[in-house]
């Protein structure tokens, strides 16, 4: 066992630390490039990692495509699973709230008059239970 530790220590000491530089250059067309090798004919400007990260394009935040859809459910509810699958098939994003696992969600559920699951909220509309036709009508009314 001691030989193993000595061998690992020797390997770590023999491995040189990794070191790299990042270079930025702009071509004649105005395109900006970053790389680990400098361009042959351009002026060299070395950048820190923070400068590179801040120069990366940011992802645009997701934009809501209509009213918010919330499904109050439980893990063992078959109708809840069908309702969620229905929304997924239609490509409609929804927020699932398990009323058994969260006291906050259970409280919201009760304030909405929920006594059974699923309870589906689309904007200011409320659907108690699940019927595909009723859900489709509610979604159509909401413009989804």
**What are the pLDDT digits (tens) for 69-86?**
999 999 999 999 999 999
Q: Which of 19-28, 30-39, 45-54, 86-95 has the highest mean pLDDT?
A: 86-95
Domain that holds residue 127: 69-141
Q: Which two tokens stand for residue 25?
A: 């250059």
Residues 88 and 119 in one domain: yes
Q: Is residue 126 part of a domain?
A: yes
Q: Is residue 9 part of a domain?
A: no
Residues 76 and 50 in one domain: no
Q: Is residue 6 part of a domain?
A: no
**Cβ 144 vs Cβ 122: under 8 Å:** yes
CA angle 85, 90, 96 (to 5 degrees): 45
Q: Is residue 101 part of a domain?
A: yes
Structure confidence at residue 103 (pLDDT): 93
**Cβ 126 vs Cβ 112: under 8 Å:** yes
Q: Is residue 12 part of a domain?
A: no
119-122 and 95-98 as β-strands: parallel, antiparallel, unpaired? unpaired
Where residue 124 sits, what CATH number does that domain have?
Answer: 3.40.30.10
| Average pLDDT over every residue of 76-98 | 95
Residues 75 and 137 in one domain: yes
Does the model's pTM come out above 0.85?
Answer: no
Structure confidence at residue 41 (pLDDT): 66
Q: Is residue 30 part of a domain?
A: yes
Residues 127 and 98 in one domain: yes
Q: Which two tokens stand for residue 19?
A: 């070191």
Residues 51 and 81 in one domain: no
Residues 74 and 105 in one domain: yes
Q: What average pLDDT does the structure give for the chain?
A: 81
Structure confidence at residue 27 (pLDDT): 72
Domains in the chain, number: 2
Residues 82 and 121 in one domain: yes
Q: Is residue 25 part of a domain?
A: yes
| Average pLDDT over every residue of 16-39 | 69
């Amino acid at each position: 066992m001691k030989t193993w530790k000595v061998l690992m220590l020797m390997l770590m000491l023999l491995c040189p630390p990794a070191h790299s530089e990042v270079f930025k250059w702009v071509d004649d067309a105005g395109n900006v490039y970053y790389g680990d090798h400098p361009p042959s004919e351009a002026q060299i400007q070395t950048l820190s990692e923070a400068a590179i990260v801040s120069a990366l394009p940011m992802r645009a935040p997701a934009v809501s495509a209509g009213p918010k859809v919330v499904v109050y459910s439980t893990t063992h509810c078959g109708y809840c699973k069908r309702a969620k699958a229905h929304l997924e098939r239609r490509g409609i994003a929804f927020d699932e709230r398990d009323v058994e696992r969260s006291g906050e969600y259970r409280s919201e559920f009760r304030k909405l008059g929920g006594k059974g699951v699923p309870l589906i909220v689309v904007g200011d509309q409320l659907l108690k239970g699940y019927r595909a036709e009723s859900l489709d009508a509610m979604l159509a009314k909401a413009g989804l």
